[in-house]
Amino acid sequence: MYFDFLISKRPVSLQTRKTSNLQAWKQYVRSEAAKTWTGQIFSGQDLQLTLIYFYNSDPVDTDNIIKPIQDALIGLIYDDDLLIADVDAHRRSLSGTFDLTLCPILLVQGITSGLECVYVKIAESKPLEDYL
């Protein structure tokens, strides 16, 4: 079981000097997730957060976009971000080449839009040996 959604906007870095931009970003992320989230809140199980950030130019540091997105989903998708045991984060240029036949539909939509976006997927964590 997993939940995925697309954030159709350039991400805001945790390192931004304007905290108001960071708060607005978190609210935007939460509202985008809430548009399609219909499940019960995850509680008491380890989760994996997967992020794929597509950019046009001057990308944001991948590690600095994780925490704001993770925090935005507390109380909506999971009851505590402590449940995020695994993080898988990627950054790719939209000018790259992709095999769209292997991608989830939301990821295809993000890539084909040509606009900066972040694909987010939350799933149950796998056993450690599955990551090795």
Q: What string of DSSP letters covers 42-108? A: B-SS-EEEEEEEEESSSPPPTHHHHHHHHHHTBTTTBS-GGGEEEEEEEEEETTS---GGGS-HHHH
> Rg of the chain over CA atoms, in angstroms?
14
130 in any annotated domain? no
Whether the predicted pLDDT of 44 surpasses 90? no
132 in any annotated domain? no
User: For position 108, which CATH number holds?
Assistant: 3.30.1330.70
Whether the predicted pLDDT of 101 surpasses 90? yes
Q: Which two tokens stand for residue 3?
A: 């939940």
64 in any annotated domain? yes
131 in any annotated domain? no
Whether the predicted pLDDT of 1 surpasses 90? no
69 in any annotated domain? yes
96 in any annotated domain? yes
57 in any annotated domain? yes
Split into its structural domains, the chain has a count of 1
Give the pTM: 0.94
Domain range for 11 is 2-124
Whether the predicted pLDDT of 49 surpasses 90? yes
- When the pLDDT of each residue in the chain is averaged and rounded to a whole number, the result is 95
85 in any annotated domain? yes
Sequence-distant (6+) residues with CB within 8 A of 88 are 48, 49, 50, 51
